[in-house]
Chain A
Amino acid sequence: MSTQLTPILTKFWDHPTSWTLETYEANGGYAGLRKALQTDQSDLVQMAKDSGLRGRGGAGFPTGLKWSFLPPPDGGPRYLVVNADEAEPGTCKDIPLLLAAPQFLIEGMIITSFAIGSNHAFIYLRGEVAHVHRRVQRAIAEAYAAGYLGQDILGTGFDLDITLHSGAGAYICGEETALLDSLEGRRGQPRLKPPFPAVAGLYARPTVVNNVESIASIAPIAANGADWFAGMGTEKSQGFGIFSLSGHVTRPGQYEAPLGITLRELLDMAGGIRAGHQLKFWTPGGSSTPIFTDQHLDVPLDFESVAAEGSMLGTRALQIFDETTSVVRAVSRWTDFYAHESCGKCTPCREGTFWLKQIMHRLEAGRGSQDDIDKLVDICDNILGRAFCALGDGATSPITSAVQYFREEFEAGMHTPASELFPPERSVLFAKETQPA
């Protein structure tokens, strides 16, 4: 096996009190901040650029470049907003990170806020994770008590407050402008861009919105240097990331590795597909990224290689399904999700997901009509690139890719229910101990 895991953000998650400031400092925490506070702000932005860090929330936009888009200071407030609204189906890295080691985020936020000249930063954390709220609340309180937050941080004259903000259950708020509207106390609906948040974000002021893992990664980058980070991964997809394996694998879980690792390597580490079964299809980065099949086991999981194969690296949410799984049922349920979570602001997404859902339901029930596949593809074509935000695009990904690789299953949906072709009880993880009521 060529690629090895690189525990950095996950390094001490097994400590009995991994979430405390004491544990964090014992593992080198806040060394990066001390260095950063002695560094020019512009050098810190350059450090982020030089590291090659690209957004870990799915889109992969270069983090340092995003910071550099802020206009020059005009004396008014500027904000850092951390997107902790992790809700993309399959994505489960930020929530365990915040549960186990929230100080990575707090340190990264202080460094980032200093770099961009912000004195008030926000964490937008989805509301449906009670214990993660407690851990982040505690982490913020500990950082204040230690002098890492508040007035005159570590005697440098830099002030920073962090406000933790609870969401209330809306996938769309993971979209950065919808998140900002929600943080302003409105319905979470995306804004028309431009202007981008860097120019007019929270309260129409210059704002950087970054994912949890991106900002958390800034802490070890500040401590160890941009070159250290850039030395990992591939030429254009540098550094490490948390890969989340779920589904029909022997040992699902979090595997922190350099970008460019393959699913074959990760599956080896995770004990392979569950015993007696074979890989059928998987998502490289959440449900919004077109599915892959067993042809793609050796695709390097970096931004470029995954894109070259027609999908997206996304959030490295590897949802694995074996041969017992009906792809029509899987896609139908994802389509329900997008229809449910569409905010309703723009017509292609609101209406399109509604109709996609009707068609997927009848295909799943074995009651599809002859032209349903064409209709699906046609509706997807009318959503992709025409919706206000990426939710609409995401809704089309599983459908068009599944039709591409498994068209015969959609054709079977014209006469046979998915539950007959693929009895659901064969896919469940608790096997035969119970039968459906």
Chain B
Amino acid sequence: MTADAHTDPLHRYTPLQASDEPYAEDVLAGLRADAAQIIAKYPQKRSALLPMLHLIQSVDGYVTGRGVDLCAEMLDLTRAEVSGVATFYTQYKRHPNGEYTVGVCTNTLCAIMGGDQIFDEVSEHLGIGHDETTPDGKITLERVECNAACDFAPVVMANWEFFDNQTPETTKKMVDDLRSGVPVAPTRGASRVCSFKQVSRMLAGFEDGLADEGVGAGHASLEGLRLAKEQGWTAPAADASTDGEAEETTRDAEPETGEAHSSARASGTDTPSGTDKEKDA
């Protein structure tokens, strides 16, 4: 009821004053240049807001007041409009985040397959609960919703890289390694987990050159394919249907070979082909 009540931070970990400190000039110039690149990708600049908030997090580690100000200024929005968006999405942090966000899936399937137990044990191991950060600033622990990897349950995410088929032991070792600076490789992802700020920059649309690292598919993703190969199962061939289709689907007088995969090298194109070899997968 006193004026003092209004000076408390919104969250006990939020040093609101940090938001008021202006960006260093070179940092600000970099942010503006990056934001301009993001804005250029869209027909209307407001669309740049979500990636720009990722960009703010790549510099500040969370969505700061000064970051909100910058987005508002560059996109001709009010601070309230920007804050309204920033507070809607769970990936935008409203207080300083750890260097690594470790999210244990506790949606139904993962929870029952062991996610609940993993969360409880890791929480006790680290001494922090949901949305809390270790005192060394390394790990922010979260319960996360379904991350589209249910065939690898129980799943844990570290800075949004997949750690499949986890147990309490594997996840505890993972957080220990992350805290002590040992490189940690996800099951499916880059060869090591990047920092929260690095991943935020990549999500803002700036490639980090790691796309070729890691596997194409994990073992569960390949179960059906493996079985099909064992059994000699393939999709039906196209031949039977394409002959009848040829005139319907081809406007120009281009010769049809009737062979779907080898046909239709459109004339006069600059195809980078060199990959004419048909390959039996």
Contacts and interface: CB of A to CB of B under 8 A. Distances in A.
Interface of A: 4-8, 10-19, 22, 25-28, 31, 34-35, 37-40, 43, 47, 77, 86-92, 94-96, 99-101, 120, 126-131, 133-135, 137-138, 141, 145-147, 154-156, 163-171, 182-188, 203, 223-228, 231-232, 240, 243-248, 251-257, 269-270, 287, 317, 319, 321, 325, 329-331, 333-334, 337, 340-341, 343, 424-425, 427-430, 433-434, 436-437
Contact of B271 (A146, A185, A425): A146
Contacts of A141: 207
B235 A7 contact: yes
B271 A120 contact: no
Interface centre among B216, B245, B281 (most CB of A within 10 A): B216
A168 B233 contact: no
Nearest to B259: A31
Interface stretch (B2-10, B25-33, B149-157, B173-181): B149-157
B139 interface: no
Contacts of A287: 108
A336 to B, nearest CB: 8
Contact of B151 (A165, A169, A171, A254): A254
Contacts of A424: 112, 116-117
Contacts of A11: 225, 235, 281
A19 B50 contact: no
16 contacts: A6-B233, A10-B222, A17-B212, A37-B266, A38-B264, A90-B109, A90-B146, A96-B217, A131-B161, A167-B89, A225-B242, A227-B244, A227-B245, A228-B241, A231-B241, A256-B225
A128 B216 contact: no
6 closest A-B pairs by CB: A253-B223, A227-B241, A224-B238, A185-B49, A168-B89, A255-B224
B238 A130 contact: no
A425 B111 CA distance: 11
Contact of A333 (B44, B107, B165, B167): B107
Contact of A128 (B157, B204, B217): B157
Contacts of B268: 155
Contact of B269 (A135, A147, A256, A341): A147
B128 interface: no
Nearest to B161: A130
A27 to B, nearest CB: 6
Nearest to A203: B44
B88 A92 contact: no
B112 A155 contact: no
A223 B260 contact: yes
A116 to B, nearest CB: 16
B279 to A, nearest CB: 4
Contacts of B188: 99, 131
A244 B151 CA distance: 7
A134 B207 contact: yes
Contact of B50 (A6, A22, A37, A182): A182
Contacts of A436: 117, 120-121
Contacts of B203: 127, 130, 133, 166
A429 B113 contact: yes
A334 B145 CA distance: 10
Interface in B192-248: 194, 199, 202-205, 207-208, 210-212, 214, 216-228, 231, 233-236, 238, 240-242, 244-245, 248
A428 B154 CA distance: 9
Nearest to B158: A130
Interface residues on B, range: 35 or more
Contact of A321 (B54, B112, B121, B228): B112
B182 interface: no
B52 to A, nearest CB: 9
B273 to A, nearest CB: 7
Given A10-B224, A120-B43, A165 B51 contact: yes
A17 B117 contact: no
Given A128-B91, A251-B223, 12 more contacts: A14-B216, A14-B225, A87-B145, A92-B150, A129-B160, A130-B203, A137-B207, A185-B75, A251-B220, A429-B113, A430-B114, A437-B120
Given A91-B146, A135-B211, A319-B108, A223 B275 contact: no
A167 B147 CA distance: 13
B65 interface: no
B189 A203 contact: no
Contacts of A8: 235
Given A13-B221, A35-B263, A225-B241, A433 B275 contact: no
Nearest to A147: B270
A247 B153 contact: yes
A34 B109 CA distance: 42
A319 B160 contact: no
Contact of B223 (A38, A138, A252, A330): A252
Contact of A254 (B92, B161, B167, B224): B224
Contacts of A26: 275, 277-279
B217 A185 contact: no
Contacts of A341: 145
B72 to A, nearest CB: 12
B148 A95 contact: yes
A341 to B, nearest CB: 7
A232 B268 CA distance: 35
Given A170-B89, A184-B47, A203-B44, A253 B207 contact: no
Nearest to B189: A131
A408 B51 CA distance: 49
B104 interface: no
B220 A252 contact: yes
A425 B226 CA distance: 31
A89 B216 contact: no
B153 A246 contact: yes
Contact of A15 (B116, B157, B216): B216
